[in-house]
């Protein structure tokens, strides 16, 4: 699997006064995308934290807003693993209207692997092996 998709309908609370998706909510959709991507591979964020002692804080995030998404739109969030190092992972995202496939936003995030003390640490070998098989080429 080179990407993970999920769909969500935009609720009233996802929008701003101009009836479009509030700009910061795209980052929330990105987070849900990467969380569900990892879950689909059998690796929950919770397990990384509680069992492995590994955390993936965001160190970079970017969003390009291409056209507005609006209340009651059904959107598709597509998540890719775009970069994988020994102690970091990068994700790329595309958000499109589910019914037309028209892209409304795109972005990326980058996450170091850190331990409970927020010290950079190498990614566990089994996690790296799992993720490298799904790296975007």
Q: Which residues are catalytic?
A: 16
Strand order in the sheet with 103-112: 4-9, 74-84, 88-97, 103-112, 60-65
Q: Minimal CA–CA distance to 82: which of 35, 39, 26, 131? A: 131
Q: Minimal CA–CA distance to 37: which of 71, 1, 66? A: 1
d(Cα 35, Cα 7) in Å, to the nearest integer? 14
Using the 8-state DSSP alphabet, how is residue 80 labeled? E
- In sequence order, the 6+-apart residues with CB closer than 8 A to the CB of 101 are 76
């Amino acid at each position: 699997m080179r990407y993970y998709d999920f769909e969500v309908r935009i609720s009233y609370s996802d929008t701003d006064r101009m009836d479009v998706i509030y700009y910061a909510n795209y980052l929330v959709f990105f987070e849900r995308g990467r969380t569900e991507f990892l879950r689909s591979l059998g690796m929950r964020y919770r397990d990384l934290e509680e069992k492995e002692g590994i955390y993936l804080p965001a160190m970079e995030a970017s969003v390009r807003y291409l056209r507005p998404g609006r209340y009651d739109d059904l959107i598709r969030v597509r998540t890719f693993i775009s970069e994988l190092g020994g102690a970091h992972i990068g994700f790329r995202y595309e958000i499109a209207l589910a019914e037309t496939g028209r892209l409304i936003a795109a972005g990326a995030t980058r996450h170091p692997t850190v331990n409970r003390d927020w010290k950079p640490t190498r990614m566990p070998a089994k996690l790296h092996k799992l993720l490298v098989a799904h790296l975007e080429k």
